[in-house]
Structure 1
Amino acid sequence: MIKLVRTNSENKDFVRLVESLNNYLKIVDGDEHDFYNQYNNIDVLKHVVVAYKNEIPLACGAFKALDETTIEIKRMFTQIDARSNGMASKVLKELEKWSIELSYKTCVLETGKRQTEAVSFYKKMNYSIIPNYGQYKNITNSLCFKKVFK
């Protein structure tokens, strides 16, 4: 059974999962990793979800407010050997639910074009591609998404 825990960036399991994510992204992003990494400081994340199966942390995600109505999804990751079992969907849905409870209306996120699994996942989760925003505006490897909550 999958257990979802709402927490913050001080959660040790979240910190370990983010370390695994960063190691994965160093390979996928190559020379561009340092650019992306500067925007992924987890100290500022107050809304984190960690997914456990049999008490083992296998997936995570977080969000931060961009303004009064919009949040940005950050640090979504599922351990490679735990993928394709719906865990990422559960984490993302829990983040969306939490943000709606806090009265946010819109969600945005950025992922790399080379992260084809992530691109497919966000499309499956009803996120629409939007023009790149903020620091990703002129970054050709970035792909930005948006979802408006109903």
Structure 2
Amino acid sequence: MPVTLAIESPLQDEVRTLIAELNTTLLELSPPEACYHLTVEEMAEPTVTVWVARDGDAVVGCGALKRHSDAVGEVKRMFTRPEWQGQGVGRRILGEIEAAAGREGLQTLVLETGDQHPAAWALYEKAGFARCGPVLDYPDSPYSIFYQKQLRAA
């Protein structure tokens, strides 16, 4: 069965479980003070849209777009369960985030990821994101890698 993507509420039990797995993974790689998680409640705020990837009923991945202004959006909570990594799930989620940002007229997408995530770096770089200095209100940290991408207006 092909993986499907849809905008869904993060407040569902199976999405909460996925986000808990993401948080556990991130805390194994970075100290807590260097992890900038949105909670599922924050992910449910009106400024955030969440895409959920499913194989049938099973949740296999997610990603979110958080809007900071009329011009800037942030890619957040990108995660694919390990058994699904390498199959294009993250690439598809990122594509949906970028397409939505473009339709909304956002000019720039930014993100923060950890210094121990080379697979994430490859995903973002293949999608045209470029490394940059700290974005938004993130501190300059040796545990963080920052990216941005300029979008064309819709």
Q: Shared fold (TM-score greater than 0.5)?
A: yes
Instruction: List structure 1 segments (4+ residues) > 3 angstroms apart after TM superposition.
Output: none
Aligned position for 1:13:
14
Q: TM-score if structure 1 supplies the norm length?
A: 0.89
Looking at structure 2, the residues matched to 116 and 35 of structure 1 have their Cα atoms a distance apart, in angstroms, of 17
Q: Deviations over 1:10-36 (max 9, x none)?
A: 23332221111011111111xx22442
36, 39, 42: which one aligns with 2:40: 42
Q: Percent identity?
A: 23
Q: Which runs of 5+ in 1 are unaligned?
A: none
What amino acid sits opposite 2:39 in the alignment?
N
Cα distance in 2 between the residues matched to 1:100 and 1:11: 27
Q: CA RMSD in A?
A: 1.6
Aligned residues: 147
Q: Which runs of 5+ in 2 are unaligned?
A: none
Q: Do structure 1's residue 33 and structure 2's residue 32 form an aligned pair?
A: yes
User: Structure 1: how far apart are the matches of 2:12 and 2:149?
Assistant: 27
- Aligned counterparts, 1:1-150, within 5 A: 1-29=2-30, 32-37=31-36, 39-45=37-43, 46-150=48-152
SS at structure 1 position matched to 2:35: helix
Structure showing the higher helix proportion among its residues: 1
- Cα distance in 2 for partners of 1:47, 1:23 equals 22
* 1:69-94 per-position Cα deviation (integer Å, ceiling 9, x unaligned): 11011100000111000010001101
